[in-house]
A = this chain, B = another copy of it.
């Protein structure tokens, strides 16, 4: 258990990680050739197209090892990618994993990353089919490319929304940022593992089933996942669609845990809901008269609450918040910028 990756070497390490996947991962029917050759070989399904995405987590910037177990880190890194496929309405299929590892990293730790990858992929019968291992001197990184399938013409884009449509959101945004604040305050995760806000940060559940229902419904005009923060990502959707948005303050789903924490901090929970936070929930838009149908279809497959939080307007670039008394305030977009913001 104390063996380091530099002691084991590249090819034996690849073998060990392949053994983890052999025991704990899946081998989907369309996978003709997995790891071990120059490339993997994959079949496509008739009537489908591919949705492909790529996300990278860098140690010290996107995560600190003291906040997450190795298993949680692997599961979260894969969830970040699954969430992008979910936002397109896709079925996750195949992942490639590029790792940058320091030589003194424990082999057992990397094996736990792989257990986390498999745990995130297994519910969708998706599998790791390739990747790359390389040695780094500074911060380690995990870069994942994920391929998902979606029926031709059914994919959810950011660009299809129209004024007058309503805005739906799954779950309780803002919790991940609040959980990260708790971890930062304390400096590590000891005793915080089961705090609901910390779990929202360490163990996000990508809304893959929900995204597939949204795409399958044929009623949803646009969708995006929450990786930058509610306002930042809603802003991306509005920019792509050429619309504005008005949010109803009283309708925003604020979780009890977020409420309790913000009381303690003396903060406004609405600011935590709107601000930078990577919750991996989904925003979707649809005609107002279809909202109940969409929600009913979601509730048939998912326990995740869905709330109607606002309406799209014909004022591009304008995001505003309407309070209980009906007065409006302009909202500045404050999402996560990977260059302008500081690391963790």
Contacts and interface: CB of A to CB of B under 8 A. Distances in A.
A132 B61 CA distance: 14
Given A10-B337, A134-B61, A137-B60, A44 B41 contact: no
Contact of A103 (B32, B43, B85, B339): B339
Given A37-B158, A38-B223, 4 more contacts: A38-B51, A39-B51, A54-B131, A56-B132
Interface of A: 5-6, 8-11, 13, 32-33, 36-44, 46, 48-56, 58, 60-62, 84-85, 87-88, 90, 94, 96-98, 100-101, 103, 129-139, 141, 143, 145, 147-148, 150, 152, 155, 157-159, 223-225, 240, 337-340, 343
A84 B39 CA distance: 6
8 contacts: A33-B155, A36-B240, A37-B88, A39-B88, A40-B51, A42-B51, A58-B135, A138-B139
A44 B45 CA distance: 9
A13 to B, nearest CB: 7
B98 A38 contact: no
Nearest to A7: B339
The residue in A94, A157, A223 that gathers the most chain B C-beta atoms within 10 A of its C-beta is A157
Contact of A130 (B39, B52, B133, B158): B52
Contacts of A39: 51-53, 84-85, 87-88, 90, 148
Contact of A98 (B88, B98, B136, B225): B98
A8 B340 CA distance: 8
Nearest to A155: B41
Q: How many copies of this protein are present in the complex?
A: 2
A31 to B, nearest CB: 10
A244 B193 CA distance: 53
Nearest to A157: B37
A85 to B, nearest CB: 6
A86 to B, nearest CB: 8
A44 B94 CA distance: 15
Nearest to A90: B39
B53 A338 contact: no
Given A100-B56, A145-B96, A9 B340 contact: yes
A49 B42 contact: yes
A56 B56 CA distance: 12
A88 B40 CA distance: 9
A324 to B, nearest CB: 33
Contact of A339 (B6, B40, B224): B6
Nearest to A338: B10
B13 A339 contact: yes
A10 B40 contact: no
Contact of A138 (B11, B88, B137, B224): B137
